[in-house]
């Protein structure tokens, strides 16, 4: 609670509102990229902020490279759903449920 996740791409903050292919889960901090393009190649660094602690911490950079053969590997399609069996909400409040499909 109270954490905010930002991703840095090649030393520049990713502005995800401008690109519907990328998404950062504020629940897990994970960065998701759909339909990787050559211009996505580079170094990605996660920055975690805590307003309460008034602190920001950066993780190590992770390089993304494209495979020359275009083969992603032997990954079966997989669907991940991450929410409890029951979700409670007060009338008029907002809830967010996350669901991701992964695969080739």
- DSSP states of 65-93 as a string? ---TT----S---EEEEES-SS----TT-
The predicted-structure confidence for 15-33, as pLDDT tens digits, reads as follows 776 667 788 887 788 888 8
The predicted-structure confidence for 42-66, as pLDDT tens digits, reads as follows 999 988 888 777 888 888 888 888 7
Where along the chain do its domains lie?
Answer: 3-102
Asked if 50 and 29 touch (Cβ cutoff 8 Å), the reply is: no
User: Per-residue confidence at 97, pLDDT binned at 50, 70, 90?
Assistant: low
5's enclosing H/E stretch is strand 3-9
The CATH code belonging to domain 3-102 is 2.60.40.10
């Amino acid at each position: 609670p109270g954490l905010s996740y930002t991703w840095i791409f090649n030393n520049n903050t990713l502005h995800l509102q401008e690109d519907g292919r990328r998404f950062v889960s504020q629940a897990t901090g994970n960065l998701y990229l759909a339909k990787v393009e050559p211009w996505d190649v580079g170094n990605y660094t996660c920055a975690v902020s805590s307003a309460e602690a008034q602190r920001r911490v950066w993780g190590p950079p992770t390089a993304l490279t494209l495979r020359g053969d275009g083969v992603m590997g032997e990954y079966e399609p997989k669907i991940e759903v991450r929410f409890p069996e029951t979700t409670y909400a007060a009338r008029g409040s907002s809830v967010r449920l996350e669901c991701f499909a992964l695969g080739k």
